[in-house]
Amino acid sequence: MTRTLVRLFVVFILIAHGLIHLLGAAKGLDWAPVATLTEPIEPELGVVWLAAAIALVTTGALFAARARMWWVAGIAGLLISQTVILTSWSDARAGTLANLALLVALGYELAAQGPESYRAEYRRRVATALRASVPGAGSVVSEADLARLPAPVAEYVRRSGAVGQPRVSFLRATIHGRIRASATSRWMTYTGEQVNTYGRTPSRLFWMDATMFGLPVDVLHVFVGRSATMRVRLCSLLRMVNAAGPEMDRAETVTLFNDLCILAPAALVDAPIAWQEVDDTHVRGVFTNGAQTVSADLTFRDGDLVDFRSDDRMSTSPDGSTFTPQPWSTPVGDYRVFGTRRLAAHGEGRWHAAAPQGEFAYLEYNLDAITYNAGAASTD
C-alpha cells in the first residue's frame, strides 16, 4: 500500500506540474494571455516551457505504465523545469518546491526500482535461473514414480494432480500475508514472489515487499548453488539485515525442502530425499542438497499434507548476524485448485521457542497464483 501511494503521488505531481508549465508555453508562444505570469517570456523560452511540460507529463505516463526507463525522462523534465523556473523566478519560484519533492520521490523510486535495487537483482537472477532450467521434453509423473514413495506421500502427490503432468523444472508463485519478528511484535503486511528451480542444483529466489510502521521494507532471499543469503533494506536504502554463512545455508535448505513439499509435490518423485514411513499419517524425510542434510517430519490427514516440522532450521537475530537453532513448523490447509494442481492455499510459519515466548506464528501466507515450467517472473 505504501509503495502504491508513493507511485500515485509521483504520477499526480508529475502530470500536474507538467500541465502548469503549459502556462509559460502559452504566454511565450502567444497562445493566450496568462495573467498569473507577470514577467515577459520570449518565444524561444516558450518552447523550453513547452518542452518541460511534455517531459514531465511523459514521465508521469511512463511511471504510471511502469516503464523501466521512466527516470531518464524524469531527470530531463526536472532539469528543464528548473531552468525555466529560474528565468521567471518571481512568478514561478514555487515550482522549485514541487521539483524538490519530485527529486526526493524519484530518488526513492530509483533506489527501489533502479539497477542497484534488490528488485532489479531479483529480476536478473530469475532470468539467469530460468534460462538454465529449460523443461525436459515429454517426461511426465506416472503412477510408477509414486511407487517409490511412502504411501502417505504418494497419496498426497496423487491428490495434488501431479500424475500425468510434466515433471517440474521450475515454478513461479505469488503470495501475500503478514509477518512479525516475535510473539509480541507488530505484524507487517507483505506481498511476495518466488521462483524455484529443480535439477542437479536447485535454487530458490524470493522477493518480499513488506511494510513496517508505514515504511516500505525490501527483502531478498537468494539460494543459488550451495550458498544462501537474506538481505533486508528499509525504504530501499538502509540495510537492516545481511545474513549469510553455513547457518544460513542450512536454514534455507530446510526452506527449500519445505517448498518442495508444499508448492511442488510433483517434484518429490525425483528429489534427493530418504523417506521413513512412521505410521499411516506420519513420514520422516531426510533431504540432501550439497553438503547440507536436513530432516523434517510430515503429517498427513485425509491424504493431504497438514504440517511440516523440522529441528534443523534456525531463527536469525534482528540484524541477521547470529542464528539460534529452534524447532520450526509450517501447518497448511485450505486446499484449492490452481490450474491443474491442487495445493494448500494458506499456511503459517511457526517457531517452537522456549519460554517465555513459547510456540507462536511469525508468518502467515496465502498463495495467490502458481505456475510450473512456463512464463518469466516479474516484480512489476
The arrangement of secondary structure in 121-372, i.e. its CATH architecture, is Clam (2.50)
List the pLDDT tens digit at each of the 380 positions of the chain.
Answer: 556 777 788 888 889 999 999 999 999 999 998 888 888 999 999 999 999 999 999 999 998 887 877 878 888 999 999 999 999 999 899 899 889 988 887 788 778 878 889 999 999 999 999 888 766 555 899 999 999 999 999 999 999 999 999 999 999 999 999 999 888 889 999 999 999 999 778 899 999 999 888 888 999 999 998 899 999 999 888 899 999 999 999 999 999 999 999 999 999 999 999 999 999 999 999 999 988 999 999 999 999 999 999 999 988 877 777 888 899 999 999 999 999 999 999 999 999 977 677 889 999 999 999 999 976 444 44
| Residue 7: C-alpha distances to residues 64, 115, 174 (Å) | 8, 18, 21
The separation between CA 27 and the C-alpha centre of its own chain, rounded to angstroms, equals: 48
The total number of residues shown for the chain amounts to 380
Separation of alpha carbons 378 and 174, rounded Å: 10
Separation of alpha carbons 366 and 346, rounded Å: 5
Evaluate if pTM is beyond 0.85: no
3-state secondary structure of 134: coil
Separation of alpha carbons 377 and 195, rounded Å: 7
Cell triple for 14: 508529475
pLDDT, residue 136, reads: 57
pLDDT, residue 379, reads: 45
Q: Give the CA-trace dihedral at 123, 330, 291, 174, to 10 degrees.
A: -10
pLDDT, residue 378, reads: 45
pLDDT, residue 3, reads: 64
3-state secondary structure of 193: strand
| Sequence-separated (6 or more) residues with CB below 8 Å from residue 53 | 18, 19, 20, 21, 22, 25
Contact predicate 272/163, CB 8 Å: no
Closest CA to 281 of 142, 161, 156, 158: 156
Separation of alpha carbons 73 and 62, rounded Å: 8
